[in-house]
Amino acid sequence: MEQLPYFNKITLGEILGKEGENLNYWIKKLLKNGEIIALKKGLYVSRLYLLSLAKNPDLREKYLEYLANIIRFPSYISLEYALSKFGVIPEGVYAITSITTKTGRTYKSKLGSFIYKSMRDDLFGGFSVIDFENKRIKFATKAKALFDFLYFRKRGNMDNLRINWDQFNENDKQEFKKIVFDSGIYKIKKELTKLKW
């Protein structure tokens, strides 16, 4: 179990050779002893696995991004977290924000907070896939992260946004325009005209 990036109750039952109430007892015991950590109900990671990442902050960060895709599936990382990573917004963002086609949710665990916002199926896309130790992380492109951010933003003056517009190159701008026109969403088309891209 210390080699697994995450596991569910069924896998834990197989590892421990336990089932039913006996398995529930052992899960409670392992959680109480800190040998396993709950990511959400029925999904866990071992303390030893986390310790193996502790010496490498970059690896731990990638692992948390990978988990963001797993905790609520399907999903991809976007919004404030992605914009912060791209240097588009100056604030540091500590919760990992993602887009899903399922109901929006927030999960809090000892590892951090994972926030999911629900988007229409036809707008779910615009992400690239990053390799992480033979695993895949779905992460919004810079243009799609901006689109997603504006999609969920309540109306207001774009001048009030603390966005570093210089971070967007010509390819980003063209991609953003295409996403906006394909979406058919009036409020974002209106924002686009203000940008004069």
pLDDT for the residue numbered 162? 86
* 86, two tokens: 């791209």
Q: Domains in the chain, please, with CATH?
A: 7-53 (no CATH), 57-195 (3.30.460)
- The predicted-structure confidence for 106-130, as pLDDT tens digits, reads as follows 999 999 999 999 999 999 999 999 9
Residue 161 pLDDT exceeds 90: no
Model pTM score: 0.92
pLDDT per residue over 129-152, tens digit each?
Answer: 999 888 999 999 999 999 999 999
Are 97 and 82 in contact, with CB atoms under 8 Å apart?
yes
17: left (phi over 0), alpha (psi -120 to 50) or beta: left
Cβ count within 10 A of residue 30: 19
Residue bearing the bigger pLDDT, 156 or 190: 190
